[in-house]
Structure formats: C-alpha cells, structure tokens
Amino acid sequence: MTDSRWVVDVDGDSFAGEVLERSRRTPVLVDFWAAWCGPCRTLGPILAKLAEEMQGRFVLAKIDSDRNQDLARHYGVRGIPAVMLFIDGQVTNEFTGALPESRVRKFLEESLPSGADKAVTHALNALSRGDRNEAEAGFAAVLTESPEHAEALLGLTRVYMESNRMAEASATLARLAARDRDGAEAKLLAARLAFAAAAADVAPLTARVEAAPADLAARMALGEALVARERYEDGLEQFLEVVRRNRAFDEDAGRKAVLRVFDLLGPGHPLITRFRPRLSALLFS
C-alpha cells in the first residue's frame, strides 16, 4: 500500500469509488502496471513524484494489471505501463510506455483542467441549479484573469440571456475570439440572440404579409418574430418563401435566416431533416 495522500492503490472492488466517482471531483491518473515490468518501475516513481509536487491537481491510482485483468481488458490495455486520465468518470487522455519526466509533465499540463477551467465548471453547476448570481460572479472572476476564456464568455452570455439582459449578452458573445465562434454553443447563442432581438408582435406582421405577400421585409420580420416565440416551423416557412420569391433579397437574408434556425435547433432535429432538402431545391433548381 502507498502512504501518500495523492497516491492510492486500486483494485476491481474500489475502482468505481476511487476512480470513477472521485474523478468527478478531482482528476484521477490511472497507472496500469505489473511487478515484472521494468518500464513500470521507471515510470511509477515519476508519476508519484509529480502527484506530490502538484498537490492535488490529480490523484494517482495504481492498478496491478496482473491482479486486475478484467479492468485492464475493459479499458483496452495492450501494453504496460498504460496511463489513463479520468475526468468526470471518463478517460480524457492516455499514453503507453515509460515516458521521461519532461514528457509526462507536458502531458499533465496539457491534459489537466486549469484553475480557470475548474472555476467555470463551478459556475456552470451554479447556473444549472438556477443560481444566476453565483454563476455570474464565477464567470466574471474567470474573465478578469483570462479575458478570452471561451467557456466563461459563453456561460456569462447564457446568464445574461436568462436574466433578459440581451444587450449585455450580445456584447459578451462578441468578445469571443474568432477561433471560438464556430462552435455549436456559440452558434446556438448567436442564433437565440438574433431572434430574441426581433421579438415583435406576430399579429400585425401577419396582417402586413397577408395584405402584401410580396413585401419580403415584412415576411422576414414575421419569420423572425415566429422563431422568437419558438414557432420554428412557421418561421422557416416564411424564410423559405422569401428565398423562393427572391433569393438575393437583402443579401440572401432568407437563406441565412434558415441556417440560423438550424443552428438554433441543433443537429438531428426533425425540422432540419424536413427543411434542408426544401432549401437545397430552391437554391439549386
């Protein structure tokens, strides 16, 4: 047995608690080793040294692969030492073989969550509980130290949107670096903001479109108002009609609005399956 606070011996009986559950609070680095394995004897002390040095950034779990063959087989261990990093119950990174200390250190620095990442996770948990004040404070604190932290910017945008502070939400989302703007979460929030800004009354817009079907500006406004009220199918019908009547209207506004709704709905939504072929038929017929 080990006598370190940051190094534990684990077997099949303790794996669920010491690795899977524990990794939901602290990253766990699992070292599959064996007594006969020379490279394991080289790597083991390096891992233990770094666990002590990093004082809680991760816990080292030592698993004798000979005595726990079911575990080794379950995680696809083909050679040892095999090292796997568990976070939130899942393997997030791994390597095989006795790497030198410099490369192990690099692996850990690239793989372990930073202090900012942990703070963002805490703020996200607060937001999921409905505690917007705690979440806002957490995201803001991270951004004070790391102004371009993408997850913190996205989280703070969500806080502002849930608080109906749309101007602040838009300004926060605009701070995202260009490399982060194509992510699914960023596209979703941008689409929600775009349609929320167009949340006009549906009835007068409907009357305008009925009175003047060729008024494409009114039709676009109606589509946006419908989507803002989560009437996605009705809104998509209006945007497709704009594309059908005049593809070039307002710099391709109809097509762009359809794609924003797709971002809002997310991959695999049945409306996307229905409307994407119809959009393609209009664009390429």
Strand (E) or helix (H) holding 264: helix 253-265
Q: Are 32 and 76 contacting, i.e. CB atoms less than 8 angstroms apart? A: no
List the catalytic residues: 37, 40
Contact 252, 282 (CB under 8 A): no
Q: 11 vs 2, 30, 45, 93, CA distance in Å?
A: 13, 11, 19, 21
Of 188, 123, 184, 128, the C-alpha closest to 156 is: 123
Residue for token pair 């957490």? 138
Note the Cα 114 to chain centre separation in Å: 16
